[in-house]
Amino acid sequence: MGVRFLKIAVVYFFIAVCLGLVMGIIQDFSYTSVHAHLNLLGWVSMSIFGLIYSIYPSASETKLAKTHFWLHNLGVPIMQGVLFIELLTDNTSLTIGIIIGSIMVVIGVLLFMINILKLKSS
């Protein structure tokens, strides 16, 4: 689970910095939120999940961890993919998709919190 999170994180990192680079070159900052969240929910958060699950393998083998993994990895692309399409096509009719993706991420974070709080302190 730890390594899986880390592998996905580096892919988000590459995509997010490419988007940042393109935004800088074409001087169009309307996609800043997508760039920021691909970096922060994709690269930074998933790297931290990956490192924590590597340090505490027992936490990575729980049902909570598996559900967290899928909620985060479906929620982030849904949330940011729909936001990107909305910005690209200049319409706001798909906002429900952003909300659904965001709620999936938030529930995933809740499960992650419970999972880590259940760790036995040594």
CB atoms near residue 72 (< 10 Å): 24
113 binds ligand HEM (CB under 6 A): no
Rounded to a whole number of angstroms, the minimum distance from the CB of residue 118 to ligand HEM is: 22
The footprint of ligand HEM on this chain (CB under 6 A) covers a number of residues equal to: 20
Taking the least distance from each CB to ligand HEM, the nearer of 45 and 115 is 45
Closest CA to 1 of 72, 107, 106, 99: 72
Using CA atoms, how far apart are residues 33 and 81, in angstroms rounded to an integer?
Answer: 12
Rounded to a whole number of angstroms, the minimum distance from the CB of residue 76 to ligand HEM is: 8
Using CA atoms, how far apart are residues 86 and 90, in angstroms rounded to an integer?
Answer: 6
What would the x/- binding string for ligand HEM be over residues 27 to 46, using CB under 6 A?
--x--xx-xxx-xxx-xxx-
Residue selected from 105, 111, 112, 115 as contacting ligand HEM according to rule CB under 6 A: 105
Spell out a b/e string for 41-53, using b for 16 or more CB atoms within 10 Å of the CB, else e.
bbbebbbebbebb
> Please, what is the Cα angle at 118 between 102 and 115, to 5 degrees?
25
| Sites of contact with ligand HEM (CB under 6 A) | 17, 20-21, 23-24, 29, 32-33, 35-37, 39-41, 43-45, 102, 105-106
